[in-house]
Amino acid sequence: MRIGVDIRVLMDKYYSGVSEYAANLLKAILTLDKSESSNSHKQELNTGHESEPNTGHESELKTANEYKLFYNSFKNLDDKLKSWNRTNARVIGTHIPNKIFNYFCQKIFQYPKIDQVLGGVDIFWSPHFNFTSLSKSNSNLKKIITVHDLSFLRYPKFFSVRKNFWHRALNVKQTLLSADMLIAVSENTKNDIIELSGLAEDKIKVIYPGNNLIKREVGFVEKQEFLFEHKLSGRLILYLGNIEPRKNIVGLILAFNHLREEDLKMEGVLQDVKLVLAGASGWKNKKIYQAYENSPFKNDIKFLGYISKKEQEILYSLSSVFAYPSYYEGFGFPPLEAMTYGLPVVCSNISSLSEVVGEAALMINPNSIEEISGALKIILSDEVVRQRLIKLGYERTKLFSWDKAAREYLQVFKDVYEK
């Protein structure tokens, strides 16, 4: 099969969310497809080698599928793109400014046809929504789209005018209906697709993502340097994600206020607890910063902004509890990552989060300040509950693997191609 892959989501300077998903999954697919086909080829040659030797003749290795990776960028991204050129994959693209390419070339003029730019493909897979014009005359071309969430259809109030304009311009419902197969990252997303688009259930396959983190031991010195740099001390309640309304950060700040106020009335044992909010500033977050400014405990609330993967690992290792009271998630990577580092989780009992954490977290109604505060207090105060959640969390993380996701994707490619 010749499989076209839209890697425009990988043009971002920093990976997070969808771009991180696409990068990890595509890497697993290319590695798996190459290794399986290469191993098969080596068995035919009776080499007896367990691993692929670095002979300098990688192009001679046979692969089951050929991958053509489409990108568009006005900038020179050779350094970023060269790692994606593999034995079984080749990067092909255009150099038109993105706004012109998306709005004018793809949406209005529907040119160039991306499959033609790639030199012809049997399947075109989009790991996210984007303006995509394909050859209508090629009836054999199959289209697969990964759907992460439909929050912009269900909760447009959480998005800026610009974001909502973008989603309307994409004509998402029509895009969904035009696909030969949709891959949903959770049952919750699958249900949303069916409800909001009317698409038949048999055209949707649920494939859970893998885990973005592999636990590493963060050293004592590394932790202390981080604490010193950011002027942090005491026990930390950690939130990691974009600073935007859908994440219910206002509710988390109010719950932190409630936790500290109630503790002042009682034994006063939680006065060392701090709230750390890590993540890039998103949109419509004026009320979030107002809630922070109005907090009587604002000196114990810290916004860190965007942090690197290494800094995320340090924070997961340092913190006492991970809080994720989001109103809606298509999947929700941060709770899974937190559990990987033995961090007990408090998260919402709605949308897809129960599929991620199972029974390994304390789940709360995101609209209840008292429930959020109460769950945080339990984890901070009850060591038995804390250790139980840590143990369950470690077990839960074993269910999510990029290798497993890649195998399921390869099966979908095969099934769609053979229809």
Name which of 160-169, 267-276, 347-356, 395-404 the model is least confident about: 160-169
Nearest Cα residue to 324 out of 357, 352, 347? 347
Contacting residues for 258 by C-beta, under 8 A, at least 6 apart? 369, 370, 373
pLDDT tops 70 at residue 35: no
User: What is the CATH topology of the domain spanning 220-397?
Assistant: Rossmann fold (3.40.50)
Q: Do 2-210+401-418 and 220-397 have matching folds?
A: yes
In the chain, where the domains are located: 2-210+401-418, 220-397
d(CA 347, CA 315): 18
Domain 2-210+401-418 sits in CATH at 3.40.50.2000
Per the CB < 8 A criterion, the answer to whether 65 and 34 are in contact is no
d(CA 197, CA 207): 19
Note the pLDDT tens digit of each residue in 280-332. Answer: 988 889 999 999 999 999 999 999 999 999 999 999 999 999 999 999 999 99
Note the pLDDT tens digit of each residue in 176-195. Answer: 999 999 999 999 999 999 99
The predicted model scores a pTM of: 0.89
- Tokens describing residue 395: 């077990």
Query: What whole-number percentage of the chain has pLDDT above 90?
Result: 75
On average, the pLDDT of the chain sits at 90
Per the CB < 8 A criterion, the answer to whether 330 and 352 are in contact is yes
* β-bridge mates for residue 147, sequence order: 184
Note the pLDDT tens digit of each residue in 52-91. Answer: 333 333 334 445 799 999 999 998 888 888 889 999 999 9
